[in-house]
Each structure stands twice: as structure tokens, then as C-alpha cells.
Amino acid sequence: MIREIKTEKLPIKMWVEDIEQGALEQARNLANFPFAVRHVALMPDCHQGFGMPIGGVMATKGVIVPNAVGVDIGCGMCALQTSLEDIKRDELKQLLAGIRSMVPLGHRHHKKSQDPRRMPPVEGRGPIPVVMREYKSATRQLGTLGGGNHFIEIQKGSDGRIWIMVHSGSRNIGKQVADHYNRLAVKLNQEWGSPVPRSHQLAYLPLDSREGKQYISEMNYCIEFAYASRKLMMDNTVGVFRSFFGSELKIAPVINIAHNYAAVEEHFGMELVVHRKGATKADKDTTGIIPGSQGANSYIVKGKGNKESFNSCSHGAGRTMGRKEAIRSLDLREEVRKLEEKGIVHAIRSQRDLEEASSAYKDISKVMALQSDLVEVLVELKPLAVIKG
């Protein structure tokens, strides 16, 4: 931990050095949230979000906060090790073309519904009205990458092996669930005369309420859907690899971890709802994934179970500037030059693509150094080729 702020109702424990004023103000709101417990934890990739800073961790008693989970419920990472030890540049380009033919990018969906056995089951969950409304369209969004900072990357590990990594979320079904229950929470909080100012964007639902129970059921479905979607993309990507390198290609089990969710966990002798928004679980039993920006290294890590972080760590490098600012201020030629100097087959083609340039993100090596008490690095992964949504 770098420092601690003790001016609010609860302490704010920080693993971040430089934090923008907006994110710090949101952290103060969390520290004064009437249902928050013990302290608030800020990871080294922390930056401003909606209501709760991305890279923030908050534990509550008795309530759940949709905005503290975020819009892209269940967004997270998958990674796997292959038996390959090297890939030539021309092979990388062919692999990317093959992956693009299998995985719809950006706003594109599959033309047909995917195998329903790939979808998480809906039975036995109780009422999940938003999921059921969006289910049919979700069958075509399953296994699609989406846009923003989502990616498929081919990497070379410090273990001498080639790795595949996928970053994606719950697509529109997650957004619809998030928006529906945040609006509902705002409405109910107004009716109850909530002590939490609406401007804080921290409307809550009691765990024992009908609305709270339904949100948890729908949130958990979205978490499962996001993983199922990443798994389908990973399987399709491995299929492309096998078409190039043969069926003898061996792959290790998939590592999966989410970074936008809430879960009931035991901490400090209490059963609490731990909200991780742009943060991942890092207990001693968890193998995690911390990606860098496009052009920067990523890491397979083992959690250290630091109780002061609620057994959490960062979910990535974290932005230093917003998307619009990056597009407006960064130099296209310079960003392309940096990537090509490293020999990376990259995804920057136009000024608009600069929203995901490396210079829009923090230095991942510094981020990792700040959380050395949270995780142990198992494998460092150097990017070779990347597909962006």
C-alpha cells in the first residue's frame, strides 16, 4: 500500500501514486457511503468511472450497488498457453486474418444464433426478466469481441511459449441489465429518501429485497455469459491455430478471471458484498491475468491474499487520458512507430484508433511494481500481434 487517507468516514487505502481529482472524489464518496464497511481500496490502475472509480474495491453490508459493478458486467480476461515456441511474422498476419473471419468485431454480431449449449442455462435462477428479454439477441452476440479496449492478442511468454489472450465482456445483455437496475435503484432510493446524494451515482438495492435478489441473479447470469463468450472466442481462435499448426498443437487449460462484478465473501470475520469494478480477485488460490495496453507486456499472476485490498489487485494498466483526449492529442505516426519498432502486428490504422494507443495508458511495469504486495508474477507476456474491436 502506498498511502492512506483518513479524512472520511472510512479510510481510503491506496496502491496508486498519481490519481486524478475526479477519481479521488469518487473514492471519498465511497468512503462516506453509509453501507460501506472497513475501508475502500484503490488499485494502481485507478481512474474515474461512473459513481465508483475503475480500479476501486468496496465492501458493503446488506446492499448491492449496480454502478459499483459497472455497465459491462462480467468483463474479464481469458488466457491459455500453447505448445508453440515461436511464430513467424507472416504466420501472425495469416492467423489474424483467420481469427477475424471467425470472431465478429466491434458492433458486429454473428449472422446466426450460436449453439444454445454454449449459453449459460436460464433454468433454476428465479425471475431474470431482462436476461429473458435479451436472450435471443445474445445468442448472436455470444463469441463476439465488442469494441473499446477489448482485444485478442498473441503473445510470447517468459516461459518460452506462445500464449493467446482474450479480453471481452457481456455485450449488450450486460449493459441492459446494468442500466435497468441502476435506473430502478435510483427510483427506489428517491422513494425511500436515501441519505446518499443522487449526484454520487451510488444508488443501491437491499440484498433481501425482490429487486436486489433479481439484480444478483441477472448479474450472475451476465458474468457467466461473458465467460461463455470469451471461451467461444478462445475455442475459435485455437481452431484457427490448429488449421495452421496441426492437430498435434497442445494447449493448457484456460485461465479466466472477471473484473466487473460483486460477490458475497468473508472478510474480517464478516460476510460482505465485495464490489470489484476494474479490479480482480487476488486471494492465494487465484491465478489471475493483468493485461497491459496495446504494445505493452501482460502478466499471469498468483494472488497473495492481501486482506487490506479485500484480496484484490488491478485489472490492467489503467488509462491516463480519456478516449476523446487520446484521439485529439496523440500523434498517429509516432504511436505506429512505437509499435512497429517492437515488431508488433498492431491494430492502429487511423486517428480514431488512438483511443487505444499505448500512450493513453499508464506504464504497466510501474503498475505492477505498485502492487508487489498483492500479486506474484508467474509469466510475463510480450505482445506479438493484436486484434482490437
DSSP one-letter string for 175-196: HHHHHHHHHHHHHHHHHHT-SS
Q: What is the pTM of this model?
A: 0.96
| Residue whose cell numbers read 449449449 | 117
Alpha carbon of 219 to those of 58, 170, 189, 222, 226: distances in Å? 17, 10, 20, 5, 11
| Residue 170: alpha-carbon gap to chain centroid | 10
End-to-end CA distance of the chain: 34
One digit per residue, the tens of pLDDT, for the chain of length 389 reads 889 999 999 999 999 998 999 999 999 999 999 999 999 999 999 999 999 999 999 999 999 999 999 999 999 999 999 999 999 999 999 999 999 999 999 999 999 999 999 999 999 999 999 999 999 999 999 999 999 899 999 999 999 999 999 999 999 999 999 999 999 999 999 999 999 999 999 999 999 999 999 999 999 999 999 999 999 999 999 999 999 999 889 999 999 999 999 999 999 999 999 999 999 999 999 999 999 988 899 999 999 999 999 999 999 999 888 889 999 999 999 999 999 999 999 888 899 899 998 899 999 999 999 999 999 999 999 999 999 98
Residues in the chain: 389
Predicted local confidence at residue 13, as pLDDT: 98
The beta-strand segments (E) located in 182-297 are 205-206, 255-258, 260-267, 270-277, 279-281, 287-290
Quick one: DSSP state of residue 249?
-
How far apart, in whole angstroms, are the C-alpha atoms of residue 45 and residue 367?
7
How far apart, in whole angstroms, are the C-alpha atoms of residue 73 and residue 77?
13
How far apart, in whole angstroms, are the C-alpha atoms of residue 50 and residue 194?
19
Give helix 210-245 / helix 89-102 axis angle, nearest 10°.
140
Contacts of 45 (CB under 8 A, 6+ apart): 16, 54, 55, 278, 314, 315, 316, 317, 318, 362, 367
Q: What share of the chain is helix, strand, coil (3-state, %, to 5)?
A: 35, 25, 35
Q: Count CA atoms closer than 13 A to 284's CA, side-chain side.
A: 3
User: Using an 8 Å Cβ cutoff, are 15 and 309 in contact?
Assistant: yes
Catalytic residue numbers read: 315
Q: Read off the C-alpha cell for 104.
A: 465478429
Burial class (CB in 10 A: 0-12, 13-18, 19+), 177: buried
Predicted local confidence at residue 247, as pLDDT: 84
CATH topology of domain 3-320+361-388: tRNA-splicing ligase RtcB (3.90.1860)
Backbone angles phi, psi at 381, to 5 degrees: -120, 120
